[in-house]
Structure 1
Amino acid sequence: MAVNWVGIAGIVVFYIIILVVGLWASRKSKGDSDPDSVLVASRDMSLFVGVWTTAATIVGGAYINGAAESVFESGLAWTQAPWAYAISMPLGGILFAKHMRAKGYLTMLDPFQDKYGNRMGGLLFIPALFGEILWSAAILASLGTTMSVILDLNVKLSVIISAVIVAFYTFFGGLYSVAYTDVVQLFCIFVGLWFCVPFVMTNEHAAPITSTSSEWIGTIDPSDAGIWIDFTMLLLLGGITWQAYFQRVLAAKSPEKAQKMSFIAGFVVIIMAIPSVLIGAVGFNTDWNSTALDLNKTNPHDHPSLILPLVIQYLTPTYVAFVGLGALSAAVMSSADSSVLAASSMFAHNIWGGLFRSKVSKRELVWVIRISIVVTTILATIIALTVHSVYYLYVLCSDLVYVIIFPQLVCVLYIKVCNTYGSLVGFVIAILLRIGGGEGSLHIPIFIKFPFYSETKGQLFPFRTFIVVFSFAVIIVISYVTDIVLRRGYLGPRWDIFKCVTSVERVPDEVEHEGEEEKMHMERKRSGEWQLGDVNEMKKPLAGKDESEYIPGESKI
């Protein structure tokens, strides 16, 4: 197969545009001296940019390609991601965005380290980190496969070039560059894919989608209802417990704007999926034998993940394919940069600046973020080039983020009695139950057979959602029991090994309103009365603190 120069030209043009915008946006960064600029864009993100970059945490290569693939292979009934993610955004705004922005947090892990201590926050960093890195690897691998099949390019070269571009502008601009390139990337996706839709729907090789709607819409077998519910809940609740999402809402100018960003982003998410769904339906109705596609080399039914680029290449004119394939490359990069920055931010702020070093200079922290960006990109690239089942690894990490992070985050924010003991036990129980449920794609055997288990279909019970509910109960019960036992003196203070019950000051009862509690919380931080270091340990004021010194957990509101 000859090299597709039109497709290559389209991708090159889009890459140049994105790189230029990323470097331009990096000029808004305040340079080496301000980690807030890199982490949360100095809390100065406009509503317009915020909406688009928040939507971009969902709308990327896997989302665009995955929606078309799911419709083509399983039917619209099993394509829950578009509408589930669209609902998850406003849900995140209601549950988390306004609350966490009002607290002045910098990352998703901050509330855990504030309440449970740095070590427990570091433990929760593990599934969050794996999820972000493997997500980046999965979309880079997807891009490489697509380019190799559609454009006849070398897979390794495609992945490496894309990774270098992502790392380059993210390295210099932080969230500013990622946010502004997200706006351009989503605009390219929207225009590019909608530009292709009229051509693919009127192509002579494809039957009208209305003529076979009952087939490509699909059905849900009653015996599979538990699976459908489980994955729907995973998308609804697990889709918002990612640092990439929180990085955007925490960069909003106010808590109210953080919530608005989430609400409006939900509409953007569902709108961006419509052309992919239509293209997937057209691919289902296409007589591929009558097209120029060499089915002996690439059969859509054997490679359903390629249905979107195949439809664009073989069912549209050359100039349309130029725009469409360029839009696909933009879609991939809009997700990769978000995940790379998210993983780097958590490591620099919560692990390096919180767990390893209680005090770091602002310049040091910025350079730790930048080095982490490079390391994260390299790791994601290596995984993308060497691990064949990277998508399935990501699926498992998505499960872990859902069953571990979601219940933990709700508890730490809303249930005051929760402590480190409950969090730790809930963490361990959730992992054991999830591994016990098995994962066929990773050859993990099933040793816990939940109700309705089938020897042929596997787990039919919504066991992931059950684990979430059970984890909630474990965290609350263990926290309540340890609080009573330690606070009432049934066990002495020496048994409080995490120093999270007997040595922690309670918020005074008269502080009833969140705004007042937060004011007291932040005043203590600014005055230097305490800093994030050992587990919940109160410390003396910092002597000789200057403006270049960075205290982990401290941030401008």
Structure 2
Amino acid sequence: MLNVPGLVAIIIFYLAILSVGLWAAWRRRGITDTDEVMLAGRSIGTFVGILTMTATWVGGGYINGSAESIFTSGLIWCQAPFGYAISLSLGGMFFAKPMREAGYVTMLDPLQDKFGKRWGGMLYLPAVLGETLWSAAILSALGSTLAVILDLNNELSIIVSAAIAVAYTLFGGLYSVAYTDVVQLFCIFIGLWISIPFAIKHEAVGSLAPSDTDWLGSIEEPHLWGEWIDYAVLLIFGGIPWQVYFQRVLSAKTSRNAQILSFAGSLGCFIMAVPACIIGAIAKATDWTATDYNQTISTKAQTKLVLPLVLQYLTPGWVAFLGLGAVSAAVMSSADSSVLSASSMFARNIYKNVLRPKASENELIWVMRGSVIVVAISASAIAIKGNSIYELFYLCGDFVYVMLFPQLTMTVHGAKYVNVYGSIVAYVVGLLLRILGGEKVLGIPPVLKYPWFKDGTQYFPFRTLSMVVTLIVLVLVSALAKYLFKSGKLPSSFDTFKVFSEDTQVVITMKSKNSSNGVDNPALDMESSSDKIRPPSYKQALDSTNF
């Protein structure tokens, strides 16, 4: 039966969020600069920046998925809050400063700067896949919550929620997203913490002592450690190469601010996971047959509803509405960020850099808005079909971790050791290894069966192995290509991407000019390496064009 008071409450909440987003968009009306829309003019302050950084990660998948994981497997398997918190800290230590100081606009800029616009654009595929699956996990969480508490249709709930987030993102860009994040984060914090005391006091809830409820969980078989390590490392390092993260970093006023946002966001993510974990423990200690729900929670379809079930059956109605507002806020705070990130990369790195280099700023903004709609529709479709929030949560980082993390890391911290030939081979190898390892969520059977393979599951940390192999292939093939071309074992005509032949031509021309003046420059003879003479960097291009 439709919960009319709850429906009215959620409509009021949605209208409030939409109003804040549209107000922020109105303040920036008339702006036709992509830098303003994508990065809020690089004017995000420390306070707003910390809150929007935290809210970006603390989405519906994060909240509902953490509660689901505590209920099904225990705290030891609830790795996302810890993994992503550590990931933000590592991002602040090793990536925030160099990326912000370089003046990049998106995460793909350094990749296109190093590997060329066309091949660098190919790295958009794992990035957009990750952002889309992330949004799907978020929307799936909200759909299930609204379905339980308000008795609304799951599909309708997902579509309406996505439409609200898209509405203010279309016109306000990051500026609207950041301001709504501030409101949403407070709603999440207040809504979840208020529900906990009421839920604990419910008569159907038993002891929360670990010895009675076992909400801590355990790893009973040795081979399970392989799977645990694989997911832990994936979340830590696979949580770095996300445009949704770098969009906040690059919008900061200074590189120092960018680091502060990362470190503070790390702490915020950890803190915001606490109430969700407690709610998961409460659900595990509850005799659900003694509640109005009157049945046990055992299937996947039920476990993904753990958090909304606690709100609906263990708390008073008005508290459940507050909790629903918290989950709704968490969803929109992350969904809007993800669709904006994916569309920003498409508009700039694909449409502008590859398809239409002469596109105007106004044209790019409209392309970005169209992309926002496409990504939101795709994420909504996946959310409607998805079974487990937490599985989507893990899966969204898989391809980003295996295919993108090694490429971004070497581009930022070891650019002279890699080139486009190594990037292409590493890309293909990483993709093949990950697919051949199988994926139950997508129904892909494993072709390569690693040690500890059992009952269709890879317990060996094959994702991490795939990432390491991708990294090694990237460096080794890059070195091999450089040696073959520089030594003359491969003719310059084979240098399809003109990585080495153009540099050699530049050196010969420079040397000829010096020789014509009767001056020999022995140092110049050593400059034939592409690591020494290369086209102006993306940062230099920005400086010269005042973009």
Question: How does the TM-score come out when normalised to structure 2?
Answer: 0.90
- Any residues of structure 2 matched to 1:449-468 within 5 Å, and which? 449-450=449-450, 452-456=451-455, 458-468=457-467
Query: For residues 160 and 369 of structure 1, what CA distance do their matches in structure 2 show?
Result: 20
Deviates more, 1:7-16 or 1:387-396: 387-396
2:347 pairs with 1:362: no
Give a deviation string over 1:138-196, Cα, whole Å, max 9, x none. Answer: 32233223322332112232122112111110001000011111111111000110111
2:539 pairs with 1:522: yes
**Any idea what SS the aligned residue of 2:304 has?**
helix
2:124 pairs with 1:125: yes
Query: For residues 4 and 387 of structure 2, what CA distance do their matches in structure 1 show?
Result: 28
Query: For residues 354 and 152 of structure 2, what CA distance do their matches in structure 1 show?
Result: 43
Query: For residues 407 and 44 of structure 2, what CA distance do their matches in structure 1 show?
Result: 28
Query: For residues 26 and 274 of structure 1, what CA distance do their matches in structure 2 show?
Result: 33
2:229 match: 229
138 and 81 in structure 1: CA distance in 2 versus 1, 3 angstrom threshold:
closer
**Any idea what SS the aligned residue of 2:417 has?**
coil
2:373 match: 374
Query: For residues 520 and 354 of structure 1, what CA distance do their matches in structure 2 show?
Result: 15
Query: For residues 165 and 421 of structure 2, what CA distance do their matches in structure 1 show?
Result: 40
- Any residues of structure 2 matched to 1:244-263 within 5 Å, and which? 244-263=244-263
352 and 205 in structure 1: CA distance in 2 versus 1, 3 angstrom threshold:
same
**Any idea what SS the aligned residue of 1:359 has?**
coil
1:325 match: 324
- Any residues of structure 2 matched to 1:135-150 within 5 Å, and which? 135-150=134-149
- Any residues of structure 2 matched to 1:435-446 within 5 Å, and which? 435-446=435-446
2:73 match: 74
Give a deviation string over 1:90-125, Cα, whole Å, max 9, x none. Answer: 111112111111111111110111110111112111
CA contact (8 A) 1:244 1:339 kept: yes
Give a deviation string over 1:324-364, Cα, whole Å, max 9, x none. Answer: 11111111111111111011101000000011012221111
Deviation at 1:88, TM superposition (A): 0.8
**Any idea what SS the aligned residue of 1:49 has?**
helix
1:272 match: 272
Deviates more, 1:206-215 or 1:52-61: 206-215
**Any idea what SS the aligned residue of 1:209 has?**
coil
Query: For residues 500 and 393 of structure 2, what CA distance do their matches in structure 1 show?
Result: 36
Deviation at 1:212, TM superposition (A): 3.9
Query: For residues 29 and 413 of structure 2, what CA distance do their matches in structure 1 show?
Result: 35
1:398 match: 397
Query: For residues 210 and 349 of structure 2, what CA distance do their matches in structure 1 show?
Result: 55
Query: For residues 518 and 117 of structure 1, what CA distance do their matches in structure 2 show?
Result: 11
520 and 482 in structure 1: CA distance in 2 versus 1, 3 angstrom threshold:
closer
Query: For residues 174 and 111 of structure 1, what CA distance do their matches in structure 2 show?
Result: 22
Deviation at 1:205, TM superposition (A): 1.5
208 and 391 in structure 1: CA distance in 2 versus 1, 3 angstrom threshold:
closer
Q: 5+ residue gaps in structure 1?
A: 511-516, 529-553
- Any residues of structure 2 matched to 1:405-444 within 5 Å, and which? 405-415=404-414, 416-444=416-444
Query: For residues 375 and 482 of structure 2, what CA distance do their matches in structure 1 show?
Result: 39
CA contact (8 A) 1:205 1:290 kept: yes
Query: For residues 212 and 5 of structure 1, what CA distance do their matches in structure 2 show?
Result: 41
Query: For residues 328 and 101 of structure 2, what CA distance do their matches in structure 1 show?
Result: 36
Deviates more, 1:189-198 or 1:286-295: 286-295
**Any idea what SS the aligned residue of 2:340 has?**
helix
CA contact (8 A) 1:417 1:480 kept: yes
**Any idea what SS the aligned residue of 2:182 has?**
helix
1:243 match: 243
- Any residues of structure 2 matched to 1:61-140 within 5 Å, and which? 61-140=60-139
Query: For residues 23 and 437 of structure 1, what CA distance do their matches in structure 2 show?
Result: 45
CA contact (8 A) 2:69 2:77 kept: yes
Instruction: Give the total of aligned pairs.
Output: 520
The one-letter amino acid paired with 1:129 is V
Query: For residues 301 and 378 of structure 2, what CA distance do their matches in structure 1 show?
Result: 29
2:15 match: 16
Deviation at 1:443, TM superposition (A): 2.2
CA contact (8 A) 2:301 2:388 kept: no
1:288 match: 288
341 and 331 in structure 1: CA distance in 2 versus 1, 3 angstrom threshold:
same
CA contact (8 A) 2:28 2:172 kept: yes
Deviation at 1:441, TM superposition (A): 2.8
CA contact (8 A) 1:392 1:442 kept: no
Deviation at 1:393, TM superposition (A): 6.2
1:167 match: 166
The one-letter amino acid paired with 1:65 is N
112 and 379 in structure 1: CA distance in 2 versus 1, 3 angstrom threshold:
same
168 and 518 in structure 1: CA distance in 2 versus 1, 3 angstrom threshold:
farther
Deviation at 1:431, TM superposition (A): 0.6
Deviates more, 1:137-146 or 1:43-52: 137-146
Query: For residues 347 and 211 of structure 1, what CA distance do their matches in structure 2 show?
Result: 48
Give a deviation string over 1:305-326, Cα, whole Å, max 9, x none. Answer: 1111111111112221121111
**Any idea what SS the aligned residue of 1:57 has?**
helix
Give the fraction of aligned pairs with identical amino acids, expressed as a percent. 50
CA contact (8 A) 2:20 2:179 kept: yes
The one-letter amino acid paired with 2:284 is F
Query: For residues 157 and 372 of structure 1, what CA distance do their matches in structure 2 show?
Result: 22
Query: For residues 159 and 538 of structure 2, what CA distance do their matches in structure 1 show?
Result: 45
496 and 520 in structure 1: CA distance in 2 versus 1, 3 angstrom threshold:
closer
CA contact (8 A) 2:69 2:78 kept: yes
CA contact (8 A) 1:134 1:390 kept: no
2:518 match: none
CA contact (8 A) 2:60 2:137 kept: no
2:484 match: 485
Give a deviation string over 1:203-226, Cα, whole Å, max 9, x none. Answer: 221113126466111111222101
Deviates more, 1:385-394 or 1:244-253: 385-394
The one-letter amino acid paired with 1:55 is T
Q: 5+ residue gaps in structure 2?
A: 508-523, 528-533
**Any idea what SS the aligned residue of 2:441 has?**
helix
**Any idea what SS the aligned residue of 2:321 has?**
helix
Query: For residues 501 and 200 of structure 2, what CA distance do their matches in structure 1 show?
Result: 67
Question: How does the TM-score come out when normalised to structure 1?
Answer: 0.88
CA contact (8 A) 1:102 1:518 kept: no
Query: For residues 38 and 174 of structure 1, what CA distance do their matches in structure 2 show?
Result: 5
213 and 34 in structure 1: CA distance in 2 versus 1, 3 angstrom threshold:
farther
Deviates more, 1:336-345 or 1:27-36: 27-36
2:493 pairs with 1:476: no
**Any idea what SS the aligned residue of 1:442 has?**
coil
Deviates more, 1:369-378 or 1:221-230: 369-378
1:531 match: none
The one-letter amino acid paired with 2:440 is G
